[in-house]
Chains A and B, each alone.
Chain A
Amino acid sequence: MADHALDAAHDHDSHDHKPHGWRRWVYATNHKDIGTMYLVFACTMFFIGGAMAMVIRLELFKPGMQFVDPQLFNSMTTMHALVMIFGAVMPAWTGLANWMIPMQVGAPDMALPRLNNFSFWILPFAFTLLLSSLFVPGGAPAGGWTMYPPLVLQNGASFPMLIFSIHMMGASSILGAINVVVTIMNMRAPGMTLLRMPLFVWTWLITAYLLIAVMPVLAGAVTMLLTDHFFGTTFFTAAGGGDPVMFQHIFWFFGHPEVYILILPAFGIVSEVIPTFSRKPLFGYEAMVYAVASIAFLSFIVWAHHMFTVGMPLAAQLFFMLSTMLIAIPTGVKVFNWTATMWKGSLSFEPPMLFALAFLFLFTIGGFSGLMLAIVPADYQYQDTYFVVAHFHYVLVPGAVFGIMAGVYYWLPKWTGHMYNVRLANWHFWLSTIFVNVLFFPQHFLGLAGMPRRIPDYAVQFTDWNMVSSIGAFGFGLSQLLFPLLIWQCVRSGAKVGNRAWEGAHGLEWELPSPPPYHSWTEAPSDALIARGASH
């Protein structure tokens, strides 16, 4: 109550203008409300996509077909990927961007609030369309999330639903990205120079440019599929002078930057969490910014490493091998800088730090397998096996998803004004980290031993490691239920926290009250505040 009285002075206008009831959400223009909706949406999709993963691992628990038809199995792998990438991880990043970027750059809100509303509200429609394809004749899309023709053209009624839902997701992402760029470029407080911005803002700025660059490419590729299917064009049909491999080039020109779209904001979060809990500024701030920028640039010239087996000329294969290997350099710089940040620090292990550390170790493992995959002759053996599945799940689950969780555990006290149940968060962390390895590490073995990916059934010698992997999956899936439970508890109750929820936290968001006022910085923060935040 006393806290409330103190906050009231700062809060007076927020209560005046905050709409109530359903209008607050449907007509939302406030960056925090929209951020919350994005995060709730992402969490919902995370569980829907997770349920599909459970179906996959259940069928793969032992050899023989026990539960699903092969076609439904293919739909599950396809939909799992689409839902997790476009429904869970990307909206979660946009949600975090909405919540944090205005607070971190000293702005009252995002630059384009109505566009913000629109970009969010596209998503529920896009995913209703996509998920309802599970119930149409012929079943949901089953040609893989990569949508390679000619296979994808064999989908039934679900085909146009797939294409239009991708168009909608793309439109939503582009609008969200435009808003981020405009906000960062125009709404920074005076004195918040580019090289004073927190790494999360930097990584999101670069991510937004990647999105604007490649989402239209994806839209173009799927539109060509659509016209091939319905309007007699033959972009991807050899019989009509087209080329199915051209789709793969266009798709991966989008697809490789896309993997950085999924991971760069995690780099940003880890670059803020590790300094906070090491009580030491980030090592090599500028090097970190340049490393992210070089990774983003390189991401445009490595795409064909996803398709070494399609039969490219020798020179092209060598080029894509070398350019891909180059990515190891800036990625290495980042890992070394994070390690150097902990060096001679004063470390403590609160939940955000635990997730950031798991990210550091496990993302690096994903980086190693990525380097192995770049080596073309070896890739001939790895391509389309479980080794690849292990690789990209290491970078996407303990990479991107743990990055999101580190961010949520880091800023949740700021958002709610309450400290969450740390014991429960520690449980969530340890169960997730143990099971994620039980789930994905054996998949390296399976791939190297010769198990192809995207198969609903397998030869009996692969039984043992598949069982281990499935047990890991069930454990991981169940432990995620702790996450919404913990957030719900934290929103409802919990010890009140001050402005600076973590002892070592720096940055403008920690100068605001917890929870922050409805319109974050109605007055631009002073230069002294900005300088204190940007302590590098």
Chain B
Amino acid sequence: MMIRARLASLALALAAACGPTAHAASGWHLLNMTPGVTEMSRTIYELHMLIFWVCVAIAVLVFGVMIYSLVKFRKSKGAVADVTLVHNTQVELVWTVIPVAILVAMAVPAARTLVAIEDTSKTELTIKVTGFQWGWEYDYLDDGVTYFSHLDHASNAARQLDSTIDPNTVDNYLLNVDHPLVVPVGTKVRLLITGADVIHSWWVPAFGVKKDAIPGFVNEAWFKVDTDKPGLYRGQCAELCGRDHGFMPIVVDVRTKADYETWVKAEAAAQKQAAAPADAAAPAAPSAP
């Protein structure tokens, strides 16, 4: 810990020396969706690229004809209008039928993927996710682990209107939390998503999961991170939920199965212990609402 803190302060000092522009990682290369770290997110990515290239091909064709017309049929170049060209059943049939075929070709893989996404059977771990104004609550239903997850202090200090802190100097500005969601790799994790006050939406792009957190209703979603991809994955609330909607990020800490087991056991024990003395000390007190 000491070493990490030293390194962080060193990085900060360096950043201050170089100036914010030198420190800030360039964002020019961020042009597209990323394939993510689950099989499903890669399938979605491929679907996205498929539609994208189909659109590009149609665009090249249609814009090509338009631009050709703009160049070729100019009055200033002496073009004379062919006023008889007002209708052509064959051509009109062709440009109705071909798009139908293209749409069917796109709809089939899309429907297949959707069916797979909706299959929440055979899940191995269930976590209840509750969005609230403004943060997330995670409840490991089978392990007795519950905790809240908020925007971390560094980002929160820097994002205030009167703050003098340069966001570029903050580690993962607005994408860091105090307590990340911890899950194991290679495990089909089911999320039961709901909202406490207004509607939120739990979104982690690298998993291809976005699902609304609606008060009074429980939505399901699932993901299974590749075995070789432990790490930190970040997302944000994706449904306008009030003043601090922009400030309720999601961080998922994906660990190896062994690491996860150790963590969840330790966490469960700690929470049990934290709860126990309170119960013992005040046996007569009614349970808190």
Contacts and interface: CB of A to CB of B under 8 A. Distances in A.
Interface of A: 63-66, 68-71, 74, 142-144, 148, 150-151, 154, 237-239, 243-245, 278-285, 287, 309-311, 314, 317-318, 321-322, 325-326, 328-329, 332-333, 335-336, 339-340, 342-348, 357, 360-361, 364-365, 368, 371-372, 375-378, 380-381, 383-385, 445-446, 448-450, 452, 454-465, 536
Contacts of A464: 26-28
B159 A64 contact: yes
Interface string B86-117: 11100110011001100100110011011101
A513 to B, nearest CB: 26
Given A285-B86, A381-B44, A460-B24, A346 B79 contact: yes
Contacts of B70: 342, 347, 357
Q: Which of A284, A377, A449: most chain B CB closer than 10 A? A: A377
User: Taking chain A's interface residues, is the majority helix, strand, or loop, or is none over half, making it mixed?
Assistant: helix
A385 B237 CA distance: 10
Interface string B49-90: 001100100110011011001100111100111110111100
Given A335-B62, A371-B51, A381-B44, A71 B79 contact: no
B158 interface: yes
B59 A455 contact: no
Nearest to A144: B240
Nearest to B26: A464
B185 interface: no
Interface of B: 24-28, 30-34, 43-44, 47-48, 51-52, 55, 58-59, 62-63, 65-66, 69-70, 73-76, 79-83, 85-88, 91-92, 95-96, 99-100, 103, 106-107, 110-111, 113-115, 117-118, 158-161, 163, 165-168, 172-175, 197-199, 201, 203, 205, 208-212, 214-217, 219-220, 235-247
Nearest to A287: B92
A321 B174 CA distance: 33
A284 B87 CA distance: 5
Contacts of A245: 214, 217
A448 B75 contact: no
B111 A284 contact: no
A64 B163 contact: yes
B62 A381 contact: no
B73 A278 contact: yes
Given A63-B167, A65-B160, A364-B62, A281 B83 contact: yes
A426 to B, nearest CB: 15
B30 A461 contact: yes
B246 A457 contact: yes
A270 to B, nearest CB: 13
B246 A70 contact: yes
A74 B240 contact: yes
A335 to B, nearest CB: 7
B245 A455 contact: yes
A235 to B, nearest CB: 13
Contacts of A343: 65, 69, 73, 85
Contact of A332 (B76, B99, B239): B99
Contacts of B160: 65
Contacts of B92: 284, 287, 333, 336
A339 B239 contact: no
Interface centre among B32, B52, B110, B168 (most CB of A within 10 A): B110
Given A383-B210, A460-B168, A244 B199 contact: yes
Contacts of A458: 174, 246
B51 A375 contact: yes
Contacts of B199: 148, 150-151, 244
A523 B80 CA distance: 36
Those 8 A-B pairs whose CB atoms lie nearest each other, nearest first: A238-B216, A455-B246, A449-B30, A311-B219, A344-B82, A368-B55, A63-B167, A346-B81
